[in-house]
Amino acid sequence: MKHKTLVLALSALLLVGCQNDERYASFELPKNMEVAAQAADPLKTENKTALKTSHPQFVNDLAAFSGDFIDKSMSAFDNKEDNSCISPVSLFGAMGMVASATTGDAQDEILSMLGMSLEEVEAAAGPLVENLSYEAPKDAPKGLCTFDNAMFLQDGHRFNQEGLNHIADKHYASSYILNFLHMNAEANRAMTEYIDRKTHGLIKPELGLDVFTVLVFMNTLYLKTVWSGFDMGETNDKDVFTQRDGSAKRIKYLKTPYLSGRQNQHDTFSSFGIPLTANCSLRLMVPSEGYTLNDIKAVDWTAVAHETYAANVGNVIYNTRAFFPAFTIEGDFDLLGLLKNGYGINTLFTDPDFSPISEDPLYVTGVRQLTKLITDKEGVEGAAVTIVECGATAVEQPKQNVYEEFYANKAFAYEVVNEKTDAILFAGFVNSL
């Protein structure tokens, strides 16, 4: 496993400006890519369905899957030294497509991991893309979020066009033809360029897809936001940040003005949310005295994604000022072992049935996720890419005013949440600075 840092992203959260060259609609395909099936542009979709209203069970199930995936990822990858960031929602995007592309035991194992039926996945996948996709109007504060599904097909392989069109319709997933067999270097460069453009330069990986690659499922998530409704400040002096190993480091903290709302006290930690543009927020979870990041469990990630921060409690109006460090995290994870050992997904790698989209046998040979998240005085920018590689051979949440302060002054957990869907875009630990 290539591993710089552990990056956990429940939902991808990225921030970009809204100049014309950054607009979602201006994306141009790299050379050597031919369109096999073209999905609609979710930013141009009219009469979008409000996901929390139309698919409330899916919202809950997605949060539950996200919390569980974060928990298992932390157990598998967290070394208590490197910071972490993964994207549960990006994994859902990719594996949702794979569920629609398979049948039989392989499909059943994927759906068991997601905790959903195929009908639920296919009914909500499109509305999820629509609700996450955001581009700020020209007269509004900057904000952009794109959530793209795609498939890359080996030229000449016998694919089922009806199946490709079905996935394009249900998942907003376009399909592109490349020649991994005879033009392998060019195909890898084209896919790297595709990722680079979709993530606005945050992720530009060396893919190393070999000549036996027949099909690649890919989700790319990009988010660029600014702090919503206030200017972020910074402390004048350095103060202590307690790192996960107990050592102390003196740093300057980012500092919000007093924001409406009260931090929530949980059994093992306290949490508070800081608003961002693009319908998102950054939510911080700081362990309570006597507890550590190990005590934050799957149910906690899910609860924090859904929670609100009450401002009015009886006769009291709460206002909170948050102090937390700026941080940048990136990660590169091989998820194949986690899917096998954590979720019991095996048939996908040994004897899957891809007949809905392919006339010839295919096997998943690799599952990889790359992430990057930047949190600073301007806002939050992040990207996630999930890649599922397939080949033709098998592998193994008068009145008195109360003003409180929320300090993230020791190793803490965080998540970036989309407020429209409660989807966790990114999540992880900040262990050291």
- Tens digits of residue pLDDT in 258-272: 999 999 999 999 999
> What's the CATH code of the domain at 213?
3.30.497.10
Do 197 and 281 sit in the same domain of this protein? no
Residues 249 and 354 in one domain: no
Domain co-membership, 356 together with 316: no
The pLDDT value given to residue 78: 81
Q: Based on the domain organization, do 161 and 121 belong to the same domain? A: yes
| Half-sphere exposure for 214 (CA within 13 Å, toward CB) | 19
Domain region containing 365: 7-135+149-226+326-391
Residue 196 lies in a domain: yes
Check whether residue 245 and residue 386 sit in a common domain: no
| 358 and 320 within one domain | no
pLDDT of residue 110: 98
Identify the bridge partners of residue 8 per DSSP, sorted by sequence position: 86, 427
Is there a contact between 294 and 278 (Cβ–Cβ < 8 Å)?
no
306 shares its domain with 414: yes
Q: Could you write out the DSSP letters of every residue in 185-253?
A: HHHHHHHHHHHHHHTTTS--------TTEEEEEEEEEEEEEEBSSS--EE-SS-EEEE-TTS-EEEE--
Q: Distance between CA atoms of 237 and 302, rounded to whole angstroms?
A: 35
Q: Residue 27's pLDDT is what?
A: 59
**Can you read off the two tokens belonging to residue 412?**
């803490």
Residue 241 and residue 312 in one domain? yes
Within-domain flag for 144: no
Q: 159 and 28, same structural domain?
A: yes
The first and second tokens of residue 394, run together, are 């098998």
Is residue 320 domain-resident? yes
Residues 41 and 162 in one domain: yes
**Is residue 95 included in any domain, yes or no?**
yes
pLDDT tens profile 331-387: 999 999 999 999 999 999 999 999 999 999 999 999 999 999 999 999 999 999 999
Which tokens sit at 174?
Answer: 């376009």
Q: Is the pLDDT of residue 397 over 50?
A: no
- The CATH code of the domain that includes 270 is 2.30.39.10
Same domain membership, residue 354 and residue 209:
yes
Write the pLDDT tens digit of every residue in 163-202.
999 999 999 999 999 999 999 999 999 999 999 999 999 9
Total domain count, the chain: 2
Cβ atoms of residues 234 and 257 within 8 Å: no
Tokens of 404: 């409180």
Instruction: Dump pLDDT digits (tens) for 213-262.
Output: 999 999 999 999 999 999 999 999 999 999 988 899 999 999 999 999 99
> How confident is the model at residue 327, as a pLDDT?
96
Mean pLDDT, all residues of the chain? 88
Question: Does pLDDT of 72 surpass 80?
Answer: yes
pLDDT at 398: 59
In the structure, what pLDDT confidence band is assigned to residue 7 with cuts at 50, 70 and 90?
very low
What b-and-e string marks burial along 92-130, b requiring 16 or more CB atoms within 10 Å of the CB? bbbbbbbbbbbeebbbebbbebbebebebbbbbbbbbbb
Q: Which residues have a Cβ under 8 Å from the Cβ of 53 and sit 6 or more positions away? A: none
